[in-house]
Amino acid sequence: MGAGLSTGSGLTALTAHADRVRLWHRTADRAAEVLDRLGIADRAEPRAHTPGALAAELTPGDVVVSMLPASEHPALLATCLAGRAHFACSSYVTGELLAQGEAARAAGLTVLTEAGLDPGIDHLFAHSLVSRARAEIGAENRADYALTSYCGGLPAVPNSFRYRFSWAPLGVLNALRSPARHIEGGAEKVTAHPWEATRELALGAEVFEAYPNRDSVPFIAQYDLPPGWHADTFVRGTLRLDGWQHAWAPVFAELKKGDDARIAELAGELARTYPTTRADRDRVVLSVSLTVRGANGRTWSGSYLLDRVGTAEESAMAHTVSRPLALGVRHILDSSLPPGLSRGPETAVRAEEWLNELAEEGLEFTMRVG
């Protein structure tokens, strides 16, 4: 469902594993264009996404993969439940999806969420690091830890604005208007304007800017961090190029005023001024790090880094979102994901398996310990 900027080689990979694939978009012609560009016009069927059309074609056991905005997922999942079909997306879990997940479990259907890049690959990295630290430090021992997870879609060639828009510009601005909750200095901290918590982050020889995003705290339980370990730092956030905060100062001033009409207008202006064109290459950087200091003096640290630049054939964002989602769909098809709602693979063992499978399929990343 949807043939936008995140529809990449994951769709191509699915055509090799599913008996039949249909691509739904605003018009059948647009869907056909995407299939032709991906070189799979002979392996998938284009469809126009119109009210009732999907429901009319669903059969029990189908998997509906949504690349649509998250706001459309509850209605789409309801259609799946009525048609006894599974559902997969890369978006965060919402209260509505969680409630529908219970109905899916009762019906023996799988609802896969948070299975893209961020959220998605970041979860795999975090599960892997936490599992390794638990084995080294001991889950039963007291310890202090710092876990940071930062991800950003960046222009491969920096411009003066330090950013190019490749998805809904209003969504980018509204995300900055949402408060962020994270742990810093051992205490919860809520930042009304996330950019005001921006700090420098050195990755190798390159310096980035990073700030907290959304609500990080619930992920402590999701990542299975031992209850006897104390969080000194726990933050999931957004990565930007060095100089971003300075370049965006006029934008922040508009966001602080809170004028919805003006912000919508500004989004359009920025998208026209700093678009991602066919000539531009994007870059995705994802960094997840964990350091644990045990009460017994033992310390363990590890980190993952994914740094990918897009090509003429496929953007970095399309590759890193679509490939893990396609892998998750394949695991729905082989029945290795349980009924009900899953946030990607929810155990460290399964996360390691997914990372190995993604690496075999050409997703490059590095892991360092010590």
State yes or no: pLDDT of 296 exceeds 90.
Answer: no
The contacts of residue 33 (CB under 8 Å, 6+ apart) are none
Q: How far is CA 262 from CA 112, 255, 265, 273, 316, in A?
A: 37, 9, 5, 16, 31
Average pLDDT, the chain: 94
Q: Is the pLDDT of residue 370 over 90?
A: no
- For residues 51 and 290, the model is more confident at 290
pLDDT of residue 85: 97
**Rounded mean pLDDT of 163-176?**
90
**Amino acid identity, position 201:** L
Tell which CATH architecture fits domain 121-312+364-369: 2-Layer Sandwich (3.30)
pLDDT score at 50: 87
CB 243 within 8 A of CB 198: no
Work out the pLDDT band at 103, boundaries 50, 70, 90: very high
Domain residue limits, the chain? 121-312+364-369
Taking each helix axis as running N to C, give the angle between helix 169-176 and helix 249-257, from 0 to 180 degrees, rounded to the nearest 10: 70
| pLDDT band, very low/low/confident/very high, at 56 (cuts 50, 70, 90) | very high
Judged on CB neighbours under 10 Å (0-12, 13-18, 19+), 206 is exposed
Q: Say if residue 8's pLDDT is above 90.
A: no
What confidence tens digit (pLDDT) does each residue in 121-153 have? 999 999 999 999 999 999 999 999 999 999 999
Task: Please check the confidence at residue 239 and state whether its pLDDT lies above 80.
Answer: yes
The pair phi, psi for residue 19, each rounded to 5°, is: -65, -35
Return the structure tokens found at 253: 């001033």
Give residue 69's pLDDT.
Answer: 87
Give the CA count within 13 Å in the CB-facing half-sphere of 222: 22
Q: What percent of the chain has pLDDT over 90?
A: 89
Q: Check pLDDT > 90 for residue 65.
A: yes
Q: Is the pLDDT of residue 28 over 80?
A: yes
Provide DSSP, 127-141: HHHHHHHHHHH-TTS
Helix (H, G, I), strand (E, B) or coil at 174: helix
> Does the pLDDT of residue 352 top 90, yes or no?
yes
Cα distance between residue 137 and residue 192, in whole Å = 35
**DSSP-assigned letter for residue 120:** B
Q: What is the DSSP string of 258-305?
A: T-HHHHHHHHHHHHHHSB--TT--EEEEEEEEEEEEETTS-EEEEEEE
Give the model's pLDDT for residue 168: 78
**What's the mean pLDDT in 223-240?**
97
pLDDT at 345: 92
Residues 322 and 88: their CA atoms lie apart, in Å, by 11
Q: The dihedral of CA 245, 249, 253, 254: what is its sign?
A: negative
Q: How confident is the model at residue 136, as a pLDDT?
A: 94
Q: Taking 80 as the threshold, does the pLDDT of residue 4 lie above it?
A: no
pTM: 0.95
Q: What is the pLDDT of residue 215?
A: 96
Report whether 168 contacts 180 (CB < 8 A).
no
Q: Tell me what the mean pLDDT of segment 73-79 comes to.
A: 94
pLDDT at 35 over 90: yes
Percent of the chain whose pLDDT exceeds 70: 99
Given a cut of 90, is residue 320 above it in pLDDT?
yes
Residue with the two structure tokens 């995140």:
6
**3-class state of residue 339 by DSSP:** coil
**pLDDT in the model for residue 359:** 96
pLDDT at 250 over 90: yes
The structure tokens listed for 42 are 């002979």
Give whole-number Cα distances, 42 to 13, 47, 273, 361, in Å: 14, 14, 38, 22
Residue 167: the pLDDT is 74
